[in-house]
Amino acid sequence: MPLISNNVPKINEVSQLTYGIDIGGTKIEIGVFSSELALIDSWRAPTPTENYQEFINTIVTLVNEANVRYEKKGMVGIGMPGIIDKNGLVKSANIPCATGKNIIEDLSLALACEISTGNDCRLFALSESIGGSGDGYKRVYGAIIGTGAAGGLCIDGHIYHGRNGFAGEYGHIPVSAYLIDKYNLPILACGCGLKGCYEPYVSGPGLGWLYEHFGARTSNTHHFVQQLNDNERIATTTFDCYMDLLGASFVSLILSYDPDVIVVGGGISKIDKVVEMLPQYVDKHLFTGIDCPPIIKAKYGDSSGVRGAAILRTQLVEN
């Protein structure tokens, strides 16, 4: 008797498949979703970062594999880091070969179908606002605190893009002068080319930098968490300063968007104490009498990229 895996999809029950493709700096992941947004399957390929034609071919191969595997032609939604304008022009990405290219035009042609594209952090917010931790709230802000610090706002389950497509980039708001002075911190250069943004202080590498700055012999955040749990002095000093900075950065986004809920994802969101204590540190920097909105952990975490990309594509059909 053949062994049947639980993962074998009931293809006949699926009327329409949507592929969410999450393009990262090192790998490209495809997620196959049913029309009810159930993840059926996913797999990955390495990201070609230097050769644009290879980059396009890798995505086409992933889509063709899915079409063959499920004997259907799925709809395609793409998520990637950087700013992609409404015409598909990639303006800034950590995939050098894609910068300056029109990814919507090139991929639509190569795949012979209509595609949608979005920024990966905005798609994280979209995924959490529909069926995720932010479900049921009108204005959901999704904040990634990981390699970088970025996010996005969704209103009624739709991304608020703004004029340039970068609404939600809270990591590039200038850091509070009051906190730089309070902790006697240097002004750090940011990956975006500016100086004094929040990101180099509040991202995962930022936490590691602060830990070393306050005297630790390592910037390893796992080491930091262990020491924090032991109430070690350098770790608690770092935590206080880090949470003050992160809280103030969240106040900037609360003042800008006034969301009903903030859903957090990324590596730092896995440190329970950070998420638990964050509202208290936000309140320190908010107007008296104004409460911090609920701050909760993401439901979909690492699969938010493919899920958000698939949702965005289904919304293209609805509109």
Binding site for Zn ion (CB under 5 A): 172, 190, 192, 194, 197
Q: Are 284 and 241 within 8 A, CB to CB?
A: no
Spatial separation of the C-alpha atoms in residues 104 and 165, rounded to whole Å = 15
> Whose Cβ is closer to Zn ion: residue 187's or residue 317's?
187
Which structure tokens are listed for 264?
């957090």
Nearer to Zn ion, 172 or 285 (CB): 172
Secondary-structure percent of the chain, ordered helix, strand, coil, rounded to 5: 40, 20, 35
**Residue number with CB closer to Zn ion (28 or 173):** 173
Distance of closest approach, residue 50 Cβ to Zn ion, in angstroms = 25
For residue 41, report the phi and psi dihedrals to the nearest 5 degrees.
-165, 155
Closer CB to Zn ion, 196 or 305, in the complex? 196
- Helix (H) / strand (E) containing 143: strand 139-145
Residue 249 beta carbon to Zn ion: minimum distance, rounded to whole angstroms: 12
**Token pair in block for residue 36:** 């009810």
Which is nearer to Zn ion, 197 or 241 (by Cβ)?
A: 197
Residue 319: CB minimum distance to Zn ion, A: 32
Shortest Å, Cβ 167 to Zn ion: 15
In the complex, least distance from residue 217 CB atom to Zn ion, rounded to whole angstroms: 28
User: Which parts of the chain fold into alpha helices (H)?
Assistant: 52-70, 103-111, 120-129, 177-182, 199-202, 204-213, 221-229, 233-257, 272-283, 304-318
Minimum distance from residue 34 beta carbon to Zn ion (Å): 39
Query: Which residue type occupies 62?
Result: L
Q: Which is nearer to Zn ion, 14 or 173 (CB)?
A: 173
Give the Cα separation of 121 and 127 in Å (integer).
10
Give me the least distance between CB of 171 and Zn ion, in Å please: 6
> Which residues in 245-272 are b (16+ Cβ under 10 Å) and which e?
bbbbbbbbbbeebebebbbbbbebbbbe
Helix (H, G, I), strand (E, B), or coil: what is residue 12? helix
Nearer to Zn ion, 140 or 149 (CB): 149
